[in-house]
Amino acid sequence: MNTEPETYEDLIRHKRCVDLIQSYDLTAEELEQIYNFLKDNPKAQISGNKSSLTMRVLYNTAIAPIVLNCKCIDPTIDGVKLSNDFYQIIPHYTHSSGYSGGGYSGGGSSNNNNNNNNNNNNNR
């Protein structure tokens, strides 16, 4: 980002790139590449995970995706998605140790007892 933003879109793009370097370990050249990719491709989207950023142009198979191997340095996120229109952080998710994997199971007999009690009271 060697140039000063000239338009509002340039300013927003610049801001998103600055936000990106707070989450990923990027060189100046990689950051410039991301900025220019977004600037040159209005339909560009960048998806990040813990170990890389992938730049692609949506709905255009003629332009191959570009993968930058870079480490996510923010342990509170699992990735990002950004384009010229949005910037989304994917928060890190840790499941609780009490999760059994069986779905909702609590309160079954209690709910049945309440329904039976309500039905008995209505029949009086």
Tell me the DSSP string of 101-123: SS---TTHHHHHHHHHHHHHHHT
pTM of the model: 0.71
List, for residues 8-30, the tens digit of each pLDDT value: 999 999 999 999 999 999 999 99
Lowest mean pLDDT among 6-10, 43-47, 76-80, 95-99: 95-99
Q: What is the mean pLDDT of the chain?
A: 83
pLDDT at 108 over 60: no
